[in-house]
Amino acid sequence: MFLKEETPFIIAEMSGNHNHSLARALEIVEAAAKTGADAIKIQTYTADTMTIDKADGEFRISAPGSLWEGETLYGLYQKAYTPWDWQEKIFAHARKCGILCFSTPFDATSVDFLERLDAPCYKIASFENIDLPLIKKVAETGKPIIASTGMATVGELDDLVRTARDNGCEDLTLLKCTSSYPASPAGTNIRTIPHMKELFGCRVGLSDHTLGVGAAVASIALGATVIEKHFTLSRADGGVDSAFSMEPDEFAQLVRECRTAYEALGEIRYAPQEQEKESLSFRRSLYVVKDVKKGERFTEENVRSIRPGLGLSPKYYDMVLGKVASREIARGTAMRWDLIE
C-alpha cells in the first residue's frame, strides 16, 4: 500500500494548470515536491474521450457565475487536457523529484495507457463515480483506487464500492467532495466523513475545492487521512482551474497544518502527559502565607491556595482551616500534614 498510515496523504492536483506548457507542467511537479506533498496528480483524457464536438444545448456551459460560463464542453476539455505524450515525462520527472505521480483516467483507453506507464494507483473523479464500467476496468488492475464522491447518493456510492471490490480492488479510499468550483465551506459538510468511513468500511478523506486550508484541516479531526487540493504556480498566470488552486506557499501551509492536526489527535488520555510533568510543580497548592506560631490556628489570613504546587492540594483547604499548627512555621512554607496537630 502506497499510503502512509502515520500522516495524512496530501495530493496536489495539477489538472489543467500547466496551461499547455510541458515546461510549466514539470515545474509544477518540482514545486509540489518542495511543498512536502506526497503526490502530484494529473488527468488522462482528450476532448474526444470526454464528449462530442457540439456547440449548442447541453454541450455549452450556461450556469450563471460558472468559471467556464459560455464555454463548450469540447472546447473546455481541449484547453484543460494534459497531452498524453507528456505524461511519461511527467511520471519520470516526479520520480526524480521524489514525489508520487498518478492520474485520473476517464475512459478505458486512458486506463490502458496508464497501465503502460505503470501508474501506482488511480483516481476516479466525481463526475465519473457513476460510470461503473470504468470503475470495473480500473479495479481489474488490482491497484489502489481513490474515488471522489461529489454529487453521489448513498446508493450510487454503494454501487461504486461494490463494483470496485467485486473486481479486484482491495485498497479503496473515498473522498468527500463538493463538485462546485470553488465550493463554499457551508456546503462542504465534512461531518459526512466519519459516517462514510463507518458505512463503507474504507479509508476516507477530502477532495477540497474551498479556498484556504480550514476545511481540509478540520476534516483531519473527523478522520480524513487523504487530502486533495488543486495546485498551481501562480493564480495570476491564469488557467482553467487557477481560480480555486493553491500556490506553493499556501500548499506548503496546507501540508504543515494537516500534519500538525493529525499529530495533535493523539489518543484518548487523561492525567499528566509526559511533557507536562515539569509543570506539575507550578499548579496551585496550599501555602502558609504569614508566619505562624506553634499552637496558632490556621485561618484564611495565614493559609492560601497559591502557586507553586508543592503543598497540599487545595481540596484540603476547608479541612486545614481551624486546625492548630504543630510548630512554628515561616511564611512561604508549603503546607504538609505534619505541620498540623
Indicate if 300 and 260 belong to the same structural domain. Answer: no
Please check whether residues 319 and 176 belong to one and the same domain.
Answer: no
pLDDT of residue 64: 86
Inside any domain, residue 59: no
220 and 322 in a single domain? The answer is no
Q: For the residues 40-53, what does the mean pLDDT come to?
A: 97
- What are the backbone angles phi and psi of residue 105, rounded to the nearest 5°? -85, 150
Residue count (the chain): 341
| Residue 122 belongs to a domain | yes
- What CATH number is associated with residue 301? 3.90.1210.10
On whether both 170 and 299 belong to a single domain, the answer is no
How does residue 3 score in pLDDT terms, banded at 50, 70 and 90? low
Q: What is the pLDDT of residue 4?
A: 63
**pTM reported for the whole predicted model:** 0.90
- Which of 265, 296, 328 terminates a domain? The answer is 265
> In sequence order, what are the residues at sequence separation of 6 or more whose Cβ sits closer than 8 angstroms to the Cβ of residue 327?
294, 339
Q: What is the pLDDT of residues 200-250, one digit of tens each?
A: 999 999 999 999 999 999 999 999 999 999 999 999 999 888 999 999 999
Q: In what order do the strands lie in the sheet with 333-334?
A: 303-306, 285-288, 333-334
3-state secondary structure of 295: coil
8-state DSSP, 230: E
Q: How many domains does the chain have?
A: 2
Tell me the C-alpha to C-alpha distance, in Å, between residue 74 and each of 21, 23, 52, 249: 20, 25, 6, 33
Element (H, E) at 146: strand 145-148
* End position of a domain, from candidates 234, 265, 296: 265
Identify whether residues 183 and 237 lie together within a single domain. Answer: yes
Please check whether residues 169 and 257 belong to one and the same domain: yes
Q: Within a 10 A sphere around the Cβ of 25, how many other Cβ atoms?
A: 22
Residue 245: which domain range?
9-45+81-265
For residue 19, what is the domain's CATH number?
3.20.20.70
239, part of any domain: yes
